[in-house]
Amino acid sequence: MRRYRLRVPAAEAEPALVRMLDLFPGGVEEERDGDDVVLAGYADEAPADGLESDEVEPGWEDRWRAYHRPVTVGRIWVGPPWSPQPAGGAWPLPIVIDPGRAFGTGGHGSTRAALELLQRLEPCPALDLGCGSGVLAIAAARLGFGPLACFDRDPLAVGATAENAERNGVALDVSLADVLVDPLPSAPLWIANLELGLLRSLLERPDLPPRILVSGLLDPETVGGGERVVAGGWAAEIVER
Ligand code: SAH
């Protein structure tokens, strides 16, 4: 495991943070150093060129946690277990996510865009395809969607989603599956935060539901959907059939 650093002048911290969160969806550290800001993330291999890196000291897992910060999207507040929850009122729907080593603190632009679109839909039964930490399905449950079934091809994600569902007291049916080829149960809505190539394959399935909330498009990519939200350079769309 190495710690990858990007140093930028403080005035450029915002776009740099967006870029770093895309490279390190699990979380990015942010430290002020004089007129600069140093952004850092952890990975086994360099996710991009041009980042300085150091071998990490023991205890890095606890260190990066200090930087995994809560986000609010509309009526949904998403925070880590070690962050104090908002005190009622403004954020009626707190959800607590420990992504572990699965994707999805809630902070990634593609997740935020999906959370925003989700809040514009009427609650109904749904599938979360590529659930990662389970953040989208858990938010959906809080918003009244259900029953909800979650699928991921990564066993770490299946475990993280099951744990996060329990932590939030929501009922999710979580399974290991390749959502491009494996059989899926029937539901009127699919939620899929994947990348363009995977979304295109998914949209070729013969058993598509009437409505699909797709995310993970790098703006201005599109799958030709209707209503669209962009966050941090990532886009989500509603595909109606
Ligand atoms: N829904 C979460 C995670 C999105 S990351 C969020 O919005 O934050 C995309 C997830 O899709 C990853 O967990 C990855 O393991 C999973 N994934 C990618 N391709 C897949 C496939 N073919 N079948 C199932 N899961 C897949």
174, 150 in Cβ contact below 8 A? yes
Q: What's this model's pTM, rounded to 2 decimal places? A: 0.79
Indicate left, alpha or beta for 61 from its phi (over 0: left) and psi (-120 to 50: alpha).
alpha
Provide the pLDDT for residue 119: 96
Give the distance (Å) from ligand 1 centre to CA of residue 10: 33
Provide the pLDDT for residue 145: 98
Tokens of 131: 């659930």
Provide the pLDDT for residue 55: 81
Provide the pLDDT for residue 22: 83
Provide the pLDDT for residue 202: 98
Which residue minimizes the CA distance to atom 19 of ligand 1?
130
Give the distance (Å) from ligand 1 centre to CA of residue 102: 9
Provide the pLDDT for residue 229: 95
Provide the pLDDT for residue 187: 98
Rounded distance between C-alpha atoms, residue 239 and residue 85, angstroms: 34
Angstrom distances, CA of residue 48 to CA of 4, 5, 51, 117, 213 = 10, 11, 7, 30, 29
Q: Which residues line ligand 1 (CB under 6 A)?
A: 102-104, 108, 111, 114, 130-132, 135-136, 151-154, 157, 178-180, 193-194, 198
Amino acid identity of residue 134, one-letter, is: G
H or E segment to which residue 31 belongs: strand 29-33
Per-residue burial over 15-50, b if 16 or more Cβ lie within 10 Å, else e, is ebbbbbbbbbbbbbbeeeeeeebbbbbbbeeeeeee
Helices marked H in the chain: 13-23, 60-65, 109-118, 135-142, 155-167, 196-202
Tokens of 49: 């060129």
The DSSP bridge partners found for residue 76 are 73, 93
Provide the pLDDT for residue 21: 81
**Torsions phi, psi for 18 (to 5 deg):** -60, -45
Give the distance (Å) from ligand 1 centre to CA of residue 141: 18
Task: Print pLDDT tens along the chain (241 aa).
Answer: 788 999 999 888 878 888 888 888 767 777 778 888 888 888 888 888 889 988 876 666 665 565 567 888 888 989 888 787 877 655 578 999 987 777 788 888 899 999 999 999 999 999 999 999 999 999 999 999 999 999 999 999 999 999 999 999 999 999 999 999 999 999 999 999 998 999 999 999 999 999 999 999 988 999 999 999 998 888 999 999 9
Give the distance (Å) from ligand 1 centre to CA of residue 205: 17
